[in-house]
Structure 1
Amino acid sequence: MVRQKHFIYVGCFLSMAFPLCVVFLLLVSYHESDGNLRFASYYGDHMVLQKSPEKAVLWGYGPEGAQVTCFLSGPVKQSTLPATVTKGIWRVTMDPVEAGGPYNVTAAIKGSNATLTDVLFGDVWLCGGQSNMCFETFKIFNASEELALAAKYPHVRTFMVAMDLSETELTDLIQIELPWSVPTESSVANFSAVCWLFGRYMQANLKYPIGLVESCWGGTPVEAWSSSRALQKCGLEANNDKNRNSVLWNAMIHPLLNMTIKGALWYQGEKNADYHQDKYNCSFPAMIDDWRMAFHQGSGGQTAADFPFGFVQLSTYEKGHTDDGFPNIRWHQTADTGYVPNTRMPRTFMAVAMDLPDETSPYGTIHPRDKQDVAYRLTLGARAVAYHEKDVPFQGPFPQQIMSNQTYVSIKYDQTVSVTPFKDIFEICCSGSQAPCGPTSHWVPAPIMLWGPTNVVLSAHLCPSTTVVAALRYAWTDWPCDFKACPIYSADGILPAPPFIFVKGQ
């Protein structure tokens, strides 16, 4: 019936009678629930529910006025207080359950029940974005070896939302692409590589179950994943065009809000390199803020109001490309700060990926196949920000102090650096006036001259003698360096320095 509803929905969406169709579908959903006790769409056998100290939320459909009680059986037993089915929907909040399992979860009314089997309690992570988040595990480097490991991680469970859109906020998913699954080669093969690898690495570190919920769509802008509230904060709400503001938020995120989650991962931004690029420093942080608020409210306060949010800074697309789209979006992904977390984006973490290009990717250079390093860098951020592990380095070097004169530019970094001289990845803006430096200004290479444990000295000799160094930027191109060959890394050579731009007086 779910797939039949999907076809009806698509027909409605394409028709002129969309409002009437929505009412019809709501009536269909209500009719289905009459006398039929069941869980909402994204509950299922083999699922992971959020462990303590948070409480898992359960909800579903049933006959109007019925009293629904949920029972947990397994290593721990518990039952909830009865919940009354109102407008066809019931909802309960369980007491906290420690990580582990397996459990059976049963919803019961007089004369009927519905049971979920092999349920685990652990941490639930939502994975969203566009094609690089959707990029399947079977496409990555060493895919056969990775897929052969899948069955060795039975406590990493996967669920995939189907691609659908809606003009209104939906209560439940239209359809499901992959129900909750114990990992096998075939189920992991078509699942998000970044999401799967993150979950696998985290489960190996945490030693308890991880639930992964994939909800992504290739080639989509951030506006489609944002509520009208978030868009309004950035002056984007009234913009009506082919990208359909909020349609993916409505269909693929809003139905999940009742779910208690630990955190979210995000890989998106390529689309916004040529669509509302200048607004991304507002629209992306606003989306994060709004998701946090909505998941907190939707779960009855169980999902943290500031849940950890990790994202991948854009990798590469076109070698030799002079357009500033990708570097501008990389900068805007940090709310124009250059690193996270920061005051505008608290409890966030970022995986820098500009040093992971893939010139021979059969899926296009915009889709690099090395997702292992991406996921690993995300796990470092998660361990530090989400799990508060001490002494876990997760940020690459960032300038702490910049000084310049007409001869040189000196950069003091916030940590020990590993340096490989690289001719033109640093650039300086030479200005003979007080006008601020911008994309059309006179930018010239600033070669690395000297370096020490925390310092890099650049030559400013290419600036004309009548000008001064008014700004400095690093890695400000689409494709700044070859694979793992950027000039500035952390002392251990693992974490690349992120791109930055520094303008005097700002």
Structure 2
Amino acid sequence: MYRHVIITLLASIQCCGGILLFASYYGDHMVLQRSPERAVLWGYGTDGEQVIVYLSGPTNHTTSPVTVTEGVWRVTLDPIEAGGPYTIIAAVHANKITLTDVLFGDIWLCGGQSNMQFKTSQVLNALEEMALAAKYPQVRIFMAAMEMGETELIDLTKFDLPWSVPTAGDVAEFSAVCWLFGRYMFDKLKYPIGLVESCWGGTPVEAWSSSRALRQCGLEGIEVDPKNRNSVLWNAMIHPLLNMTIKGALWYQGEANTFYHQSKYSCSFPAMIDDWRMSFHQGSGGQTAPDFPFGFVQISTNIKGSTYDDFPNIRWHQTADTGFAPNPRMPKTFMAVAMDLPDETSPFGTIHPRDKQDVAYRLTLGARAVAYNEKGVNFRGPFPARILITPGYLNITYDQPVSVTPSKDIFEICCSGISAPCGPQSYWVPAPIIKWGPTTVQVSVYMCPPTAEVAGLRYAWQDWPCDFKSCPIYSGILPAPPFTINKYPDHRRHH
């Protein structure tokens, strides 16, 4: 239907030279994906017309003519090295449309709910961050508008910010995590970065997923709240971008799924990633990698002292129930742990911590290692490599060196009188840290009754497990992520 509306509109306004337009998200000051990938340009025109695209700048390039079909034209440029500026002209006879000050670099798509939407003007040290904007003219920003669609749209119906050279005012309204990531990556890469924000606060993963992805997880129900309706944001805010060649994606979402299809998240989130990858690869004509890097933030905190498992469960499900990323179910992903970055006095609510600098920096470590293959970058916090049960204690050996602060309750053990998997209703008791070494932590099991055995171990399994940067176990600056390990795995579970 949307395509029909566009074609009808074009037919009604075309005149002597025919109509020629770029799609909505192309504009002056934009960034297109650099080589080795090839950027895609597309737009609208009069059926049967031949469109030629001219690229002039540090290098020059002219495409072969392409024919407008069903009101749409599309060209794939030759690979262009990072840099610029370029001028791009699309022409039909004497009718020309022009894009100026176009750069080639890496495009990162930033999606999710309110913590990704959280503005740079809201972060700690916001004035300092905004003052730095003018020093990064090669980090360009674009913001899609919040729109819903009943069907998959081919173009954005609106945008809140066209492609822009950053100013303090524009950056103030832009996603803090996205902007800071782009700024930090430019400092490392020294070539243009394009950032595309497409976010909506309070939304679950189902709204951002195609019906194809949801079917894999048995998620086809509809909720009353429009933002919870399946695929409505995929349709209007992601599907229109599929023709764009991108380097990778960043994602900060999960809080809404603590109370909405929580148990399905270990399926729905990896399924969404897989589907986005396939869809962007196909939509770009094979230019976006079929396994493009996908970074995400493991959700932070909400209610201090809460005994509910909702936040720990989603953190675990964000990793496909492995505790780390990348993992066999989620290859070429990377995760920024944020549970040690709470903000008890945030004026935006404790669910919205203001320290987005550390979040973004931790994402850059994963991007450097996973997306850019930089060697020697530690981007994952320490994770258990081996656990030995001996009388009176558990000995946990980590996969990297650790620094340890004593804690009486960050570790918990499940005490079981039967040979069965531990669950939320099991008898969990604290397991105090009693000893540690360069890569080991020893915890006591004395709180288990003599008639019971230790059947499970978990770490940081609380909504608010520690104060700011004060969790007990780190490797360098990176906190150990939460985990839960069962002596008796439940083989009935599948994801």
**Which residue of 2 is the match for residue 28 of structure 1?**
9
**Which residue of 2 is the match for residue 454 of structure 1?**
439
Shift in Å, 1:393: 0.4
2:467 to 482, 486, 498: 482
Opposite residue 246 of structure 1, the aligned amino acid is S
**Which residue of 2 is the match for residue 10 of structure 1?**
none
- Per-residue CA deviation, residues 314-368 of structure 1 (Å, 9 max, x unaligned), is 0000001111111000000000000010110000000000000000000000000
- Conserved 8 A contact 1:406-1:468: no
**Which residue of 2 is the match for residue 9 of structure 1?**
none
> Is 1:53 aligned to 2:23, yes or no?
no
Opposite residue 154 of structure 2, the aligned amino acid is T
Opposite residue 243 of structure 2, the aligned amino acid is N
Opposite residue 442 of structure 1, the aligned amino acid is Y
In 1, the alpha carbon distance for the partners of 2:315 and 2:271 equals 16
**Which residue of 2 is the match for residue 151 of structure 1?**
134
Shift in Å, 1:167: 0.4
1:434–1:163 Cα change, 3 Å: same
**Which residue of 2 is the match for residue 316 of structure 1?**
301
In 1, the alpha carbon distance for the partners of 2:45 and 2:367 equals 38
What secondary structure sits across from 1:330 in the alignment? helix
- Per-residue CA deviation, residues 10-56 of structure 1 (Å, 9 max, x unaligned), is xxxxxxxxx7x985566335545672211100000000000000000
- Where in structure 2 are the equivalents of 1:168-179 lying within 5 Å? 168-179=151-162
> Is 1:340 aligned to 2:340, yes or no?
no
- Conserved 8 A contact 1:405-1:469: no
Select between 136-145 and 427-436 the one with higher mean Cα deviation. 427-436
- Conserved 8 A contact 2:433-2:441: yes
What secondary structure sits across from 2:415 in the alignment? strand
Structure 2 stretches of 5 or more lacking a match?
490-495
**Which residue of 1 is the match for residue 181 of structure 2?**
198
Shift in Å, 1:403: 1.4
1:26–1:64 Cα change, 3 Å: closer
Opposite residue 67 of structure 1, the aligned amino acid is Q
1:255–1:227 Cα change, 3 Å: same
- Per-residue CA deviation, residues 207-229 of structure 1 (Å, 9 max, x unaligned), is 00000000000000000000000
1:137 to 111, 116, 120: 120
Shift in Å, 1:156: 0.1
1:169–1:46 Cα change, 3 Å: same
In 2, the alpha carbon distance for the partners of 1:81 and 1:178 equals 32
- Conserved 8 A contact 1:396-1:495: yes
> Is 1:91 aligned to 2:85, yes or no?
no
Opposite residue 244 of structure 2, the aligned amino acid is M
> Is 1:236 aligned to 2:224, yes or no?
no
**Which residue of 2 is the match for residue 15 of structure 1?**
none
1:106–1:412 Cα change, 3 Å: same
> Is 1:164 aligned to 2:124, yes or no?
no
Shift in Å, 1:183: 0.6
Opposite residue 44 of structure 1, the aligned amino acid is G
What secondary structure sits across from 1:202 in the alignment? helix
- Conserved 8 A contact 1:406-1:465: no
> Is 1:250 aligned to 2:228, yes or no?
no
1:388 to 373, 382, 399: 373
In 2, the alpha carbon distance for the partners of 1:289 and 1:33 equals 40
- Per-residue CA deviation, residues 474-498 of structure 1 (Å, 9 max, x unaligned), is 00010000000000000x2x00000
* Aligned pairs, number: 485
In 1, the alpha carbon distance for the partners of 2:62 and 2:97 equals 14
**Which residue of 2 is the match for residue 408 of structure 1?**
393
In 2, the alpha carbon distance for the partners of 1:390 and 1:33 equals 54
What secondary structure sits across from 1:194 in the alignment? helix
Shift in Å, 1:160: 0.2
- Per-residue CA deviation, residues 133-186 of structure 1 (Å, 9 max, x unaligned), is 000000000000111100000000000000000000001001010000001100
**Which residue of 2 is the match for residue 126 of structure 1?**
109
In 1, the alpha carbon distance for the partners of 2:63 and 2:411 equals 61
In 1, the alpha carbon distance for the partners of 2:438 and 2:37 equals 44
> Is 1:214 aligned to 2:197, yes or no?
yes
TM-score by length of 1: 0.94
What secondary structure sits across from 1:450 in the alignment? strand
Shift in Å, 1:404: 1.5
- Conserved 8 A contact 1:137-1:189: yes
- Conserved 8 A contact 1:38-1:61: yes
2:94 to 94, 105, 111: 111
1:443–1:406 Cα change, 3 Å: farther
Opposite residue 125 of structure 1, the aligned amino acid is W
> Is 1:427 aligned to 2:412, yes or no?
yes
What secondary structure sits across from 1:346 in the alignment? coil
1:328 to 291, 295, 313: 313
1:38 to 21, 32, 38: 21
What secondary structure sits across from 2:307 in the alignment? coil
- Conserved 8 A contact 1:137-1:191: yes
1:207–1:452 Cα change, 3 Å: same
> Is 1:100 aligned to 2:83, yes or no?
yes
**Which residue of 1 is the match for residue 492 of structure 2?**
none
Opposite residue 28 of structure 1, the aligned amino acid is L
**Which residue of 1 is the match for residue 344 of structure 2?**
359
In 1, the alpha carbon distance for the partners of 2:263 and 2:34 equals 40
Opposite residue 280 of structure 1, the aligned amino acid is Y
Shift in Å, 1:423: 1.3
> Is 1:472 aligned to 2:453, yes or no?
no
- Conserved 8 A contact 1:323-1:478: yes
Opposite residue 341 of structure 1, the aligned amino acid is P
Opposite residue 297 of structure 1, the aligned amino acid is Q
- Per-residue CA deviation, residues 448-480 of structure 1 (Å, 9 max, x unaligned), is 000000000001011111111100000001000
Report % sequence identity: 72
Shift in Å, 1:406: 4.3
Structure 1 stretches of 5 or more lacking a match?
1-18
Shift in Å, 1:62: 1.1
What secondary structure sits across from 2:8 in the alignment? helix
1:304 to 282, 289, 293: 289
> Is 1:70 aligned to 2:50, yes or no?
no
Shift in Å, 1:237: 2.5
What secondary structure sits across from 1:489 in the alignment? strand
In 2, the alpha carbon distance for the partners of 1:31 and 1:328 equals 54
